[in-house]
Amino acid sequence: MASKSKFQAIRGTRDLLPPETALWNRVEETAHSVFATFGFGEIRPPVFEPTELFARAVGGETDIVSKEMYTFKDYDISQELQGLWSLVFSARNPNTYDETIELAKLTGRLIAVARSGLESGQLSRTPENLRAIDQIELYSSKLPGLANQGPRETGPAAASLRDAVTDLDLGDELSLRPEATASVCRSYIEHNMQQLPQPVKLYYMGPMFRRERPQKGRYRQFYQIGAEVLGGSDAPGIDAEVIEMVMTFFDRLGLAGVELDINSIGHNAPDCRPAYVQKLKAALEQVKDKLGADSRRRIETNPLRVLDSKLEHEQAIIATLPRIVDHLCADCAAHYAAVKRQLELRGVFFKENWRLVRGLDYYMRTTFEITAKGLGSQNAVCGGGRYDGLVELLGGPATKGIGFAIGEDRLILSLQENGKGAAPQGRDVYIAWMGERAYATAVRAAKDLRNVGFSVELPPTELKFGKALERADKLGSRYALILGDNEVSEGSWTLKTLADGTQQKFTEPELLEFLKRYP
């Protein structure tokens, strides 16, 4: 018999459990209420989308898309079609007459099943699929005639056959979302939100998935709370208000050691960021020999990313590089100055950090990052910025956009490290009952107390009072309500305060009054 395997949560994922989940709930409720006061509404997009959406929005070159996404084919087709497709796709070039005939037969079955898939609607009747099936049929019909002529002739036919098979679109390629901005923009376009009063202000919370190397503060399923402002203008007041909202949220939670870094990364026009990047590149070429391998590579691929380097020996060199703030075009410089003034107006403290950059072209102007205490090297709890070109990149109308994403796991970790974790959850009242009649009263008392919001534990089977009180203590209950047949017939109930062992007698209405006063 197979031994029972012990299942464990996948590496990089974890169960969030009580009492910690109470803190998660407090954080999320605070987000709902603070964001609502800024006029934001909640959006709940699906957790998977076409891979292409993330490839376009996050960037196919980024680590997130190229290495870290959980991607899968979403086939709504029969096992038989999928199986035959894989067999033909992975077939070796035939070497003998028999192998050639075998491949032709296999392909014949694939064609038959694919055609019936077209009939039943399991396979999309797209022009590409119809063409692919025709092609497969063409190459497969050539095989028997070539079977006697050896691999030199059958090889190329088999290769063309495989190409045609790859063109058959069996279904969509999907990915678990590594972030949610792409989904929010997709939704804005899909629901024609540009017709609503602008800007549209949305927030979301939920799990994101990235196959990163797990470590403290870094998970493969992690949670983000984020918001996006889409449409309308790019008035600096919008940037400042979005930042003010995050800071208000952190303040409400009592997050310790919050530091806000801001920067402007200009925009993608010849007189702005690209000109700066050229200057940066030239300066980097000068100091190339003193840089590590990663930074040296980035001089070519993405010079701005060199500024992210955490390598000790590169810091002094980076400090001498040209700064983007000194190379902004007049409009971007004015926008940045206005954002800073607007933050001051709102009493939001910030530090300018010229090394805070983003790697993608559509990111522009305001960029910010917030760090908190107690997180070691993974101390960023929030990243955000302006991305005016993104909606257009995804096929929508030209739309202004700015948003942020908070790492909820790290936010929680920081709150816990600084004594703002959840208080252990106890029951308010444990009902210690003995006897049939007492049980009926206990059930009713539990219902009444729960209706007015108390957390009540009612043991399902009778326990001796000593045992019941012991359990009440272990559960961290505040009170034990003692109901024996005597108490019930006298209509006088005993309430024991577990912290000091004192007992008081009450009638039923008095008890409710007392508990409401001293919950």
- Residues interacting with ligand AMP, by CB under 6 A? 179, 210, 212, 217-219, 222, 224, 380-383, 405, 407, 409-410
- Three-class secondary structure assignment of 33-65: HHHHHCCCEECCCCCEEEHHHHHHHHHCCCHHH
**9 versus 499: smaller Cβ distance to ligand AMP:** 9
Q: Quote the longest CA-to-CA distance of the chain.
A: 104
**What residue is closest to ligand AMP based on CB?**
407
Comparison of 215 and 286: residue with beta carbon closer to ligand AMP: 215
Give Cα separations from 20 to 17, 274, 393, 421 (angstroms).
Answer: 6, 47, 40, 8
Residue 150 CB contacts under 8 Å (≥ 6 apart), including other chains: none
Q: Which own/partner pairs from 437-440 qualify as long-range (CB within 8 Å, at least 24 positions apart)?
A: 437/485, 437/488, 437/489, 438/483, 438/484, 438/485, 438/487, 438/488
Choose between 306 and 382: whose C-beta lies nearer to ligand AMP. 382
Buried b (16+ CB within 10 A) or exposed e, 284-298: beebeeebeeebeeb
The nearest distance, CB 21 to ligand AMP, in angstroms, is 17
Other beta carbons within 10 Å of 7: 6
How many angstroms separate the CA atoms of 224 and 407, rounded? 5
Least Cβ distance, residue 245 to ligand AMP (angstroms): 16
Contacts of 515 (CB under 8 A, 6+ apart): 428, 429, 449, 454, 479, 495
Compute the least distance from the CB of residue 392 to ligand AMP, in Å. Answer: 21
Report in angstroms how near the CB of residue 380 gets to ligand AMP at its nearest: 4
For 242, 307, 364, 392, the CA distances from 272, given in Å and listed in that order, are: 24, 18, 10, 21
Minimum CB separation of residue 81 from ligand AMP in Å reads 37
Buried (b) or exposed (e) across 382-391, using 16+ Cβ within 10 A? bbbbbbbbbb
Nearest approach, Cβ of residue 387 and ligand AMP (Å): 12
Q: Which of 188/219 has CB closer to ligand AMP?
A: 219
- Partner residues linked to 383 by β-bridges: 369, 405
Complex with ligand AMP: residue 66 or 425, whichever CB lies closer: 66
Query: Toward ligand AMP, which CB reaches closer, 43 or 114?
Result: 43
Strand partners, 201: 229
- The three-class DSSP label of residue 236 is helix
Rounded to the nearest whole angstrom, what is the least distance from the CB of residue 354 to ligand AMP in the complex? Answer: 19
Alpha helices, DSSP H, located in 121-261 = 127-146, 151-167, 181-190, 236-253
- Nearest to residue 185, comparing CAs of 237, 226, 220, 241? 226
- Which of 190-200 are b and which e, b meaning 16 or more Cβ less than 10 Å from the residue's Cβ? eeebbeeeebb
Q: How far is the CB of 401 from ligand AMP (least distance, A)?
A: 15
C-beta closer to ligand AMP: residue 226 or 303: 226
Which residue's CB is nearer to ligand AMP, number 58 or number 111? 58
Q: How far is the CB of 9 from ligand AMP (least distance, A)?
A: 15
| Nearest to ligand AMP of 218, 346 (CB atom) | 218
Q: How far is CA 22 from CA 26, 29, 303, in A?
A: 6, 10, 44
Whole-number minimum distance, CB 218 to ligand AMP, in Å?
Answer: 4
In what order do the strands lie in the sheet containing 71-75? 48-50, 171-176, 71-75
Report, in this order, helix, strand and coil percent for the chain, each rounded to 5: 50, 15, 35
Q: Pick the closer one to ligand AMP by CB: 129 or 224.
A: 224
* Least distance from ligand AMP to the Cβ atom of residue 212, Å: 5
Nearer to ligand AMP, 94 or 383 (CB): 383
Closest distance of CB 353 from ligand AMP, Å? 14
Give the nearer residue to ligand AMP in terms of CB position, either 117 or 385: 385
3-class DSSP state of 205: strand
Residue 126: how many CB atoms within 10 A of its CB? 11
Select 324 or 382, whichever has its Cβ closest to ligand AMP.
382
Give the nearest distance from C-beta 309 to ligand AMP in angstroms: 17
CA distance 199 to 92: 57
